[in-house]
Amino acid sequence: MGLLKGKVSVILLVFSLLVVLCASLSVSKEDQQLRLCKEHCRQQRQLDSRQRHQCETACEEYIREKERREQRDEPQSRHDPGKEVMIFEANPQTFVVPNHWDADVVLFVAQGEGTVSLVYTDRRESFNIERGHVMVIPAGVTAYLINKGNNDKLILVKLINPVSNIGKFESFFGPGGDNPESYFNAFSSDILEAAFKTSEDSLKRIFSQQREGAIIRASEEQIKALTHEKGSHWPFGGKGSRDSAPFHLLRQNPRESNDFGSLFEVDSNDYRQLRDLNVAVSFANITQGSMHTPYYNSRATKIAVVLNGKGYFEMACPHINSELREGTVFVVPPSHPFVTVASEDENLEVICFEINAENNHKFPLAGQRNILKNIEKEAKELAFATSAEEVDEVFRNQEEEFFFKGPRQQEHRRGYSII
Amino acid sequence: MGLLKGKVSVILLVFSLLVVLCASLSVSKEDQQLRLCKEHCRQQRQLDSRQRHQCETACEEYIREKERREQRDEPQSRHDPGKEVMIFEANPQTFVVPNHWDADVVLFVAQGEGTVSLVYTDRRESFNIERGHVMVIPAGVTAYLINKGNNDKLILVKLINPVSNIGKFESFFGPGGDNPESYFNAFSSDILEAAFKTSEDSLKRIFSQQREGAIIRASEEQIKALTHEKGSHWPFGGKGSRDSAPFHLLRQNPRESNDFGSLFEVDSNDYRQLRDLNVAVSFANITQGSMHTPYYNSRATKIAVVLNGKGYFEMACPHINSELREGTVFVVPPSHPFVTVASEDENLEVICFEINAENNHKFPLAGQRNILKNIEKEAKELAFATSAEEVDEVFRNQEEEFFFKGPRQQEHRRGYSII
Amino acid sequence: MGLLKGKVSVILLVFSLLVVLCASLSVSKEDQQLRLCKEHCRQQRQLDSRQRHQCETACEEYIREKERREQRDEPQSRHDPGKEVMIFEANPQTFVVPNHWDADVVLFVAQGEGTVSLVYTDRRESFNIERGHVMVIPAGVTAYLINKGNNDKLILVKLINPVSNIGKFESFFGPGGDNPESYFNAFSSDILEAAFKTSEDSLKRIFSQQREGAIIRASEEQIKALTHEKGSHWPFGGKGSRDSAPFHLLRQNPRESNDFGSLFEVDSNDYRQLRDLNVAVSFANITQGSMHTPYYNSRATKIAVVLNGKGYFEMACPHINSELREGTVFVVPPSHPFVTVASEDENLEVICFEINAENNHKFPLAGQRNILKNIEKEAKELAFATSAEEVDEVFRNQEEEFFFKGPRQQEHRRGYSII
């Protein structure tokens, strides 16, 4: 929850000035990808020369943005006052020092168990969290956290939604000392003496001891004292309490489920805290050797983080092709068809934040609910310049709905369809 | 509805960094206009030197933006993640291949008749359209279209509202082949084989035949099969159906009407689909030799497209003066007074999209509802530094309300008032 | 209400591309401040080298923005399509010529008495205003104003909320002549003759007399005629009238009040006109020698204008330290802790516009409602690395709630806490 040095993968909504960018991390051979991406632009015959140029620029921007991101010298996209995703890890038996952000934070607990406490003017609310919980910490609310596990790291995936329309954000530590430095130390000493009606000596005693950083080791007694859930004990009870409580995404009925995978989803209808943010959260567990249908989100931009497993991801317009492994973050802009495939060896778990979720629809492009099945016979003939029977034969063959048996992956095929 | 090569006039909301830009197409002598525009800046005595400089910069930016637009190398304004207007034409007896946009599209049928079909996961909705219909195609919804006319082109004027807050948008073709290239062809062949559970051969047969582009010739039988309105036949009936139906703007009672012209208008109160877009659509038919009152929209930016006729347009601040003819697009920023005049020879038909329509009011500056009539006697005297009687004499003379007899246009006067 | 040459202090929401900027006017020694600001960045140990660099860039951007602002060559921040604050003054017994803005204007009457008239298509509404009134003039609504005072200037503090999402705005004069130049003079004379159905001579008589500018001397009779409140007399009565009426902020019960100061506040719950703007207005009167608690707004950006008195202001992240005097404008971004102190000699009066006010909370960092008091014992120990007793001793000592006795200011201490 702070500016932590743990493993933090950051990716941004990356749009260029001229063209939508499609991004994914951890592509090993970028030059090759750039070449393929541009080649694909050249193949699209409906594009005129200006559009072709834009498509190629999109490919280049994608690579540049990726390089910038890897060098970490420019964490913020210039062109989108954007949401950002962070992966946060706290070691077993640790305490995360109270802090607040100038951003609304949506978090998903990817691993471990702990307790989050939120501090208000009139009360404190504490909630036990575990793998599968989704929670919103509103901007300005001071929060602290313990990892009560003995062995496991507590891992949170966070979506940061800056309050400012410039997209800049930061965290603020009040309790602290030299490291993390307390914001109190930014004020002059006579201000603090007057504010706290106390002596410089007393202030020095409390605002200079902490030098261990934002995540510190806690004793078993401290852990025990801090993990008792106190959400119910607050002075002015009732209103508001339920809102702040985390939502257990993985205890819901999946929206989609078969042998090849499951999809869990929560939006503002289920969890009111997501309403103002216009965000939905979904968790996909794709069975080893399986895939989800090619589909697109009509309005939402998807920011996805791989939690477990390996696989790959393909997207159209411009064509992006990327291997996925634990910690990979990829972004899918609205209305862009894409597909994700799990490796043969292990399930692929992906957590997704869907931004601009209101009135968003998922439109599947294969399987039983394939939207293209709903096109009239004559329209199929005209569009494909072939017989409707031939089209139907292809479009009706897949009897599953959302998750399918994947391509055999003996060899990691990267060849583009040359059909 | 795709990236079509028809006659497409594009203009953008053009604002500069420093000053509001006022834009209009097809001004024949730009150097002269630039000179006049700047001269007008210099005449305004209430401006200090900095403001005068800004005014002149606005004039220059306007010319630069216009040049960029004409060269078509930069379709997107850098400064507004904007709405864009396109004119779309399909020849008689043609079919427009199914496609979707990452944008909400508001369309007005300017000429011809046809049928639009919208494809959802669970249904298809088809609507007959004809001149005067307004319709919204939401982002991500796959749509196709036929022009059933034997002789007339089907002409649509479209306002594109990108979903992305960067203002970038594009269209996506699923059904297709080499041209338009299907987005399926961006995926590798093993992905497609697994998704459709079929062989590479079958895929190749359907995804490689189409080479005719996005608008293709249809036979009479195909036209007939596709023009039967099917809005009522969809599986899960009821809810939603009415929303998608087009709205017949020209069959409403006009908001303003007299011998000199008529104004038809639809906003979200009449047509729910416009609500989220915050857009209103209006159609003005100005009788030959007539004009509308000088007025301004309090909050809305108006994007106007000339459908028929000739005339001219004048706007204040900075002063823009432009001839109008079929296909001209002009933009009027909020609160900027402007006037449009039809030529002596034919009526002038203009379709307008009003962006940011909520709580917008039109404030007329002449005629019976002239707001300046409502100023107190003493305020008139003070403001004009003359007698209230003299002011009233001028402000009360025009007995019409919105459309007036225009200036005699024997000669095309371009002289600025030097009063 | 126009582009007036009176004393106008303008400051903008100043955010840089990379880092939030914290701004305040009238810092006398900027080089010294820059040095201190950067030094503070270097002291923060939790920052890594990239974050430290950003912090220093924030300091530099702040100085640059301040210089730009002082040179007045660039009134608009490039990075925020922003709200702007203006101070408007009209001499005793003057009339402000009717005009409208392409912006919603929230105004606070800081001094004097007068009458504002708003002109609509179907009516006029007039309201008497005096010190303490808050009022909203919607974009596009033509308004005029008299200062009826015999001796006092009428002083308004205005927050300008541009309609355009580019943040550009300007004012438009209809009634006028050469100065202020009427927008009618931008139209060619044949247009005006047709629109008003009158001769060029008549037009010339009314649109060329005024040369005195936007604020002009009024006679006693004119003042008398124009100050009779006419809000109740309008033709179509009822609806709307109450909305436009000003709200008397200083006649409400203060939200906070003790011997050391008072805080008055109005938001959209009390005054509906503020709803769409998402703005709250507050007025703080800090007793001489007193201060308010260090606190932060969770979501709102505060733009503050000093109306009377002297004092100083400190903010954290980056550290900004600024003297305050009449006319100073300072900006506090969301979630940034800050404090304001009145001088020993006189009360400090500050009017604040809080932008993005919805769901905003003020979180006090000292005093009885100090949020840090609500942290558990063990969390205090862990966070401060000291005993909870020592922490409580400091955090519970201040028995006041929002306003406190300030630091003794014999000498103007600028030394930073080196605790």
Q: Residue B335 and residue C102: Cβ atoms within 8 Å?
A: yes
Say which range, A20-34, A260-274, C181-195, has the weakest mean pLDDT.
A20-34
Is residue A414 within 8 A of residue B206, CB to CB? The reply is: no
* Closest approach of A9 to chain C, Cα-based (Å): 15
Closest CA to C143 of C181, C171, C183, C182: C171
* Closest approach of C200 to chain B, Cα-based (Å): 8
- Using CB atoms, list chains with 3+ pairs below 8 Å to chain B: A, C
Neighbour tally for B268: CB within 10 Å: 16
- Say whether A371 sits in a helix, a strand or coil: helix
What average pLDDT does the structure give for chain C?
Answer: 82
Tell me how far apart the alpha carbons of residues C137 and C156 are, in angstroms, rounded to a whole number: 13
State how far the alpha carbon of B414 is from the alpha carbons of A317, B294, B405, B411, C191, in Å: 48, 17, 18, 9, 10
Closest CB to A383 among B166, B172, B175: B175
Q: Is the pLDDT of residue C26 over 50?
A: no
Q: Give how far the C-alpha of residue C229 lies from the chain's centroid of Cα atoms, to the nearest Å.
A: 27
> pLDDT value at position C56?
78
> pLDDT value at position B320?
80
Length of chain A: 419
* Strands, sheet with B256-258, edge to edge from the N-terminal-most edge strand: B23-24, B329-332, B301-308, B348-355, B279-286, B261-266, B256-258
> pLDDT value at position A75?
36
User: How many A-B residue pairs are in contact by the CB < 8 A criterion?
Assistant: 250
Q: Is the pLDDT of residue A180 over 50?
A: yes
Q: List all residues 6 or more positions away from B344 whose beta carbon is below 8 Å from its beta carbon.
A: B288, B289, B409
Q: In which residue are the tokens 């497993």 written? A: A309
Render pLDDT for A292-316 as a digit per residue (tens, 0 to 9).
Answer: 999 999 999 999 999 999 999 999 8
Q: Residue C294 and residue A195: Cβ atoms within 8 Å?
A: yes
Tell which of A137, A164, A229 to mutate to test the C interface (max C CBs under 10 Å): A164
> pLDDT value at position C409?
53
The mean pLDDT of C120-128, rounded to a whole number, is 93
What is the band of A82 on the pLDDT scale with cuts at 50, 70, 90? low
Is residue B327 within 8 A of residue B349, CB to CB? The reply is: no
3-class DSSP string for chain C: CCCCCCCCCCEECCECCCCECCEECCCCCHHHHHHHHHHHHHHCCCCCHHHHHHHHHHHHHHHHHHHHHHHCCCCCCCCCCCCEEEEEEECCCEEEEEEEECEEEEEEEEECEEEEEEECCCCEEEEEEECCEEEEECCCCEEEEEECCCCCCEEEEEEEEECCCCCCCCEEECCCEECCECHHHHCEHHHHHHHHCCCHHHHHHHHCCCCCCCEEECCHHHHHHHHCCCCCCCCCCCCCHHHHCCEEHHHCCCCEEECCEEEEEECCCCCHHHCCCCEEEEEEEECCCEEECCEEECCCEEEEEEEECCEEEEECCCCEEEEECCCCEEEECCCCCEEEEECCCCCEEEEEEEECCCCCCEEECCCCCCHHHHCCHHHHHHHHCCCHHHHHHHHCCCCCCCEEECCCCCCCCCCECCC
Render pLDDT for B334-346 as a digit per residue (tens, 0 to 9).
Answer: 999 999 999 999 9
CA torsion through residues B391, B396, B400, B402, sign: positive
Is residue A279 within 8 A of residue A106, CB to CB? The reply is: yes
Q: Residue C317 and residue A3: Cβ atoms within 8 Å?
A: no
φ, ψ at C374 (rounded to 5°): -85, 5
Q: Which residue of C has its CA nearest to A235?
A: C374
Q: Residue B195 and residue A334: Cβ atoms within 8 Å?
A: no
On chain A, the residues whose CB falls within 8 A of the CB of B141 are 298
Q: Which residue of A has its CA nearest to B228?
A: A376
Q: Residue C191 and residue B40: Cβ atoms within 8 Å?
A: no
Q: List all residues 6 or more positions away from A360 whose beta carbon is below 8 Å from its beta carbon.
A: A280, A297, A298, A299, A300, A334, A354
Q: Residue B191 and residue A291: Cβ atoms within 8 Å?
A: yes
* Closest approach of A368 to chain C, Cα-based (Å): 43
- Using CB atoms, list chains with 3+ pairs below 8 Å to chain C: A, B
E strand spans, B246-394: 247-248, 256-258, 261-266, 279-286, 290-292, 295-297, 301-308, 311-315, 320-324, 329-332, 338-342, 348-355, 362-364
Q: Residue B417 and residue C192: Cβ atoms within 8 Å?
A: yes
State yes or no: cis peptide before A92, omega within 30 of 0. no
Would you state the CATH architecture of domain A17-78+252-405?
Sandwich (2.60)
Q: Is the pLDDT of residue C80 over 70?
A: no
Q: List all residues 6 or more positions away from B34 whose beta carbon is below 8 Å from its beta carbon.
A: B59, B60, B63
> pLDDT value at position C25?
29
Closest CA to A293 of A404, A396, A372: A404
pLDDT < 50: residue spans in chain B? 1-29, 69-81, 232-241, 410-419
On chain B, the residues whose CB falls within 8 A of the CB of C226 are 376, 378-379
Closest CB to B207 among A334, A405, A419: A419
* Closest approach of C111 to chain B, Cα-based (Å): 23
Q: Residue B334 and residue C140: Cβ atoms within 8 Å?
A: yes
**What is the CATH number assigned to the segment(s) B17-78+250-405?**
2.60.120.10
State how beta strands B84-90 and B154-162 pair. Answer: antiparallel
ipTM > 0.90? Answer: no
> pLDDT value at position B152?
95
On chain B, the residues whose CB falls within 8 A of the CB of C12 are none
Is residue C123 within 8 A of residue C166, CB to CB? The reply is: no
On chain C, the residues whose CB falls within 8 A of the CB of A203 are 394, 417, 419
As beta bridge partners, residue A111 has A155
Q: Residue B45 and residue C214: Cβ atoms within 8 Å?
A: no
Q: Is the pLDDT of residue C131 over 50?
A: yes
DSSP string, B215-258: EEE--HHHHHHHHS--TT--TT-STTHHHHS-EEGGGSPPSEEE
Residues of chain B by 3-state class (helix, strand, coil), percent to 5: 25, 35, 45
CA torsion through residues C371, C374, C376, C377, sign: positive
> pLDDT value at position A337?
96
- Say whether A71 sits in a helix, a strand or coil: helix
Is residue C95 within 8 A of residue B379, CB to CB? The reply is: yes
Tell me how far apart the alpha carbons of residues A85 and A90 are, in angstroms, rounded to a whole number: 17
CA torsion through residues B93, B97, B103, B104, sign: positive
The mean pLDDT of A117-141, rounded to a whole number, is 95
Q: Residue C186 and residue B383: Cβ atoms within 8 Å?
A: no
> pLDDT value at position B353?
96
Q: Is the pLDDT of residue C185 over 60?
A: yes
Q: Give how far the C-alpha of residue C183 lies from the chain's centroid of Cα atoms, to the nearest Å.
A: 29
Length of chain C: 419
Render pLDDT for A66-81 as a digit per residue (tens, 0 to 9).
Answer: 555 444 433 333 334 4
- Using CB atoms, list chains with 3+ pairs below 8 Å to chain A: B, C
> pLDDT value at position A116?
96
The C-alpha angle with vertex A280 and arms to A278 and A285, in degrees rounded to 5, equals 165
> pLDDT value at position B322?
84
Tell me how far apart the alpha carbons of residues A18 and A9 are, in angstroms, rounded to a whole number: 26
> pLDDT value at position C27?
32
- Say whether B12 sits in a helix, a strand or coil: strand
Q: Residue B398 and residue C195: Cβ atoms within 8 Å?
A: yes
Length of chain B: 419
Tell me how far apart the alpha carbons of residues A195 and C196 are, in angstroms, rounded to a whole number: 66
Q: Which residue of C has its CA nearest to A164?
A: C334
Q: Which residue of B has its CA nearest to A55?
A: B170
On chain A, the residues whose CB falls within 8 A of the CB of C397 are 196-198
* Closest approach of A223 to chain C, Cα-based (Å): 9
> pLDDT value at position C363?
97
> pLDDT value at position B179?
87
Tell me how far apart the alpha carbons of residues A96 and B385 are, in angstroms, rounded to a whole number: 70
Render pLDDT for C197-229 as a digit per residue (tens, 0 to 9).
Answer: 999 999 999 999 999 999 999 999 999 999 876
On chain C, the residues whose CB falls within 8 A of the CB of B297 are 140
Q: Which residue of C has its CA nearest to A220?
A: C378
The mean pLDDT of C114-122, rounded to a whole number, is 94
Tell me how far apart the alpha carbons of residues C62 and C57 are, in angstroms, rounded to a whole number: 8
The mean pLDDT of A84-91, rounded to a whole number, is 92
State yes or no: cis peptide before C180, omega within 30 of 0. yes
- The continuous run of DSSP H or E covering A52 comes out as helix A49-71
Q: Residue B372 and residue C174: Cβ atoms within 8 Å?
A: yes
On chain B, the residues whose CB falls within 8 A of the CB of A417 are 184-185, 187-189, 192, 200, 203, 207
> pLDDT value at position B139?
97
Pinpoint the residues of chain A covered by CATH 2.60.120.10: 17-78+252-405
Q: Residue C381 and residue A174: Cβ atoms within 8 Å?
A: no
Tell me how far apart the alpha carbons of residues B252 and B269 are, in angstroms, rounded to a whole number: 13
Q: Is the pLDDT of residue A403 over 80?
A: yes
Say which range, A98-107, A271-280, B52-61, C397-406, has the weakest mean pLDDT.
B52-61
Q: What is the CA radius of gyration of chain C?
A: 24
* Closest approach of A239 to chain C, Cα-based (Å): 15
Closest CB to A179 among C45, C366, C367: C45
State how far the alpha carbon of B392 is from the alpha carbons of B245, B291, C121, C247, in Å: 48, 22, 16, 34
Pull the structure tokens for residue B128: 């007959």
Q: What percent of chain A has pLDDT over 70?
A: 79
State yes or no: cis peptide before C318, omega within 30 of 0. yes
On chain C, the residues whose CB falls within 8 A of the CB of A214 are 46
> pLDDT value at position A220?
94
* Closest approach of B135 to chain A, Cα-based (Å): 18
On chain B, the residues whose CB falls within 8 A of the CB of A48 are 3, 5
Q: Residue C334 and residue A2: Cβ atoms within 8 Å?
A: no
Q: In which residue are the tokens 């000088």 written? A: B294
Tell which of B44, B59, B399 to mutate to test the C interface (max C CBs under 10 Å): B44
Q: In which residue are the tokens 């002269």 written? A: B32
Tell me how far apart the alpha carbons of residues A44 and A40 are, in angstroms, rounded to a whole number: 7
Is residue A146 within 8 A of residue A230, CB to CB? The reply is: no
Between A370 and C73, residue with greater pLDDT: A370
State how far the alpha carbon of C376 is from the alpha carbons of A118, A126, A237, C388, in Å: 11, 10, 18, 9
Q: Residue B195 and residue A408: Cβ atoms within 8 Å?
A: no
